[in-house]
Amino acid sequence: MVQVLLLNEGRVLTGGEELLEQPGRKWIDILQPTEEVMARLGERYGLHRLAIEDCLHLDQRPKLEEYPNHQFIVLQGFTALADDVCHLTLHEHHFFLGPDWIITVHELPFPGLEAVGQRIRADPEATLGRGVDVLLYLFADALVDGNFPILDHFNDELEDLESAVFENPQPEHLQRVFAMKRALVTLRRVLSPQRDVVGLLVRRGIPNVSERTVLYFRDVYDHLVRLYEQIDSGRDLLGNVMDGYLSMVANRTNDITKQLTIFSTIFLPLSFITGFFGQNFDFLSHRGFFWLMMLSVVGLPTGLMFWFRRKHWL
């Protein structure tokens, strides 16, 4: 599906490919690209065939490539389910940046792009009127800032998980730790090269990116640095939670072993006493030996219990 936003004499026109003939700055948004659509746009705007091929295979790494009449940028973002922060959906966006047009290509709808569209319609002169490179900044900012709620939710769940582990560790807690580690690895695998891409946009001299807009890309770069630091902090906290889980399980195992050892220590003398006085000898059949056995059976465990308590083993 092709949607075009055209700025013409201060007004924003919305429509399809019929607006491509009219003069003015344009944002061309392509949802679920096809070969036919990309071929028509490639012929009209001189898009490089390698970039078009990348758009038709949405499994690219974040990157910035310069071609004779445009730049090709790949940026990515994430959305997560409200009830499961580990269930991440990757949103890969491809951008063609020209002198007075920008083309966005993506497979899935993204709330950030819809918000940018509403902002353009509300204030066209402050957005599209300042240049298509400003739109690129708005798109990059929306993709990057969309990760902050995910990490905030992640940190809240991590705190709850840490409290649950130290209160009563369960096997499902360890499974959740591994799921959260996989989510952090996924975030880091995308945001790490994306930081390098935005770092290239921060440099002056990139065609079709004005020096005024470079200042805004610095803000996006700072946000990526913050995200990267939060991811590293989350990895450290997850390691601490895992260590805490293993320590709590080991302590519980030690307590069980200690209790079983105490029971064994108490009943071992009783087995000896009953075995000794149960021997078939005449002198052990006297009544005095019977009461001595009963006294030993009662007194020895009682004495051991007091001794264990004095040693703080119970």
> 223 and 264 share a domain?
no
Q: Are residues 205 and 168 in the same domain?
A: yes
Q: Could you tell me if 66 and 104 lie in one domain?
A: yes
Task: List residues bridging with 105 in a β-sheet.
Answer: 30, 94
Contacts of 73 (CB under 8 A, 6+ apart): 63, 64, 65, 94, 95, 97, 136, 197, 201
User: Which pLDDT tens digits describe the chain residue by residue (314 residues)?
Assistant: 788 878 877 788 888 888 878 888 888 888 888 888 888 888 888 888 888 888 888 788 888 988 888 889 999 988 888 788 888 888 999 999 988 889 999 888 888 888 888 888 888 888 878 888 888 999 999 999 888 998 888 888 888 888 888 888 888 888 888 888 888 888 888 888 888 888 888 887 778 888 888 888 899 999 999 998 888 888 888 888 888 888 878 777 777 787 777 777 777 777 777 776 666 666 666 666 667 777 777 777 777 777 777 777 66
**Are 298 and 164 in the same domain?**
no
Residues 132 and 165 in one domain: yes
Q: Note whether 238 and 263 are same-domain residues.
A: no
Structural domain range at position 267 = 258-310
Half-sphere exposure of 286 (CA within 13 A, CB side): 5
> What's 178's domain CATH number?
3.30.460.20
Instruction: Verify that 135 and 85 share a domain, yes or no.
Output: yes
Looking at 249, 279, 295, which one is the last position of a domain?
249
Domain boundary among 218, 249, 280: 249
Number of domains in the chain: 2
Among 229, 249, 269, the domain-final residue is: 249
Residues 272 and 180 in one domain: no
Q: Is the same domain home to 26 and 137? A: yes
120, two tokens: 């353009």
Whether 290 and 245 share a structural domain = no
Bridge partners, residue 77, by sequence: 91
Judge if 223 and 113 occupy the same domain.
Answer: yes
DSSP symbols for 1-64: -EEEEEEETTEEEEESGGGGGS-SEEEEEEES--HHHHHHHHHHHT--HHHHHHHTS----SEE
Answer yes or no: do 276 and 140 share one domain.
no
